[in-house]
Homo-oligomer: A and B are copies of this chain.
Amino acid sequence: MDLTTLAHTELSTRLAVLHDEHGRLKDRGLSLNLTRGKPAAEQLELSRPLLSLPGPDGHTAQDGTDGRNYGGLQGLPELRAAFSGPLQVPVDQLVAFGNSSLELMYECVVDAVLFGLPGAPAPWPREGRTAMLCPVPGYDRHFALCEKLGIDMIPVPMTADGPDMDEVERLVAEERVKGIWCVPKYSNPTGVCYAPETVRRLAAMETAAPDFRVFWDNAYAVHHVGEGAPLADVLSLSAEHGHPDRVFVFGSTSKITMAGSGVAFFGSSPANVSWLLGHFSKRTIGPDKINQLRHARFLPDAAAVRAHMERHAELLRPKFELIDAVLEKRLGDAGVASWTRPQGGYFVSLDVLDGCAARVVELAGDAGIALTPAGATFPHGKDPRDRNIRLAPSYPGLAEVGDAVEGLALCVELAAVERLLEAGRAA
Contact = CB atoms under 8 A, between A and B. Distances in A.
Interface in A284-325: 284-291
Nearest to A395: B69
Given A67-B261, A260-B286, 20 more contacts: A44-B69, A50-B290, A51-B57, A52-B56, A68-B258, A68-B259, A68-B260, A69-B260, A70-B254, A98-B98, A100-B283, A100-B285, A103-B283, A106-B283, A106-B284, A114-B149, A141-B282, A145-B283, A260-B285, A291-B291
Contacts of A144: 282
A268 interface: no
Nearest to A149: B114
A38 interface: yes
Contact residues on A (Cβ < 8 Å of other chain), bracket:
35 or more
A258 B148 contact: no
A226 interface: no
Interface in A102-158: 102-103, 106-107, 110, 113-114, 141, 144-145, 148-149
A44 B70 contact: no
- For the complex of A and B, the 10 pairs showing the least CB-CB separation, nearest first, are A106-B283, A261-B290, A68-B258, A100-B284, A44-B68, A70-B259, A148-B282, A103-B284, A261-B288, A69-B259
A59 interface: yes
Chain A interface secondary structure, helix, strand, loop or mixed? loop
B283 A102 contact: yes
Interface in A136-191: 141, 144-145, 148-149
A54 interface: yes
A55 B52 contact: yes
A58 interface: yes
Given A51-B54, A54-B51, A287-B260, A145 B282 contact: yes
Contacts of A106: 282-284
A127 to B, nearest CB: 11
A210 B98 CA distance: 34
B55 A260 contact: no
Contacts of A260: 67-72, 285-290
A51 B56 contact: yes
Interface string A43-75: 010011111101111110000001111111000
Interface string A325-355: 0000000000000000000000000000000
Given A106-B282, A145-B282, A261 B51 contact: no
Nearest to A145: B282
Contacts of A258: 68-69, 290
Contact of A38 (B58, B69, B148, B282): B69
A6 interface: no
Interface string A264-292: 00000000000000010011111111110
A218 interface: no
A393 interface: no
Interface string A351-363: 0000000000000
A66 B44 contact: yes
A39 interface: yes
A109 to B, nearest CB: 10
Given A114-B110, A144-B282, A290 B51 contact: yes
19 contacts: A38-B69, A38-B70, A39-B69, A49-B56, A51-B55, A67-B260, A68-B259, A68-B260, A69-B260, A70-B254, A70-B260, A71-B260, A99-B284, A102-B284, A106-B283, A145-B282, A145-B283, A260-B286, A261-B289
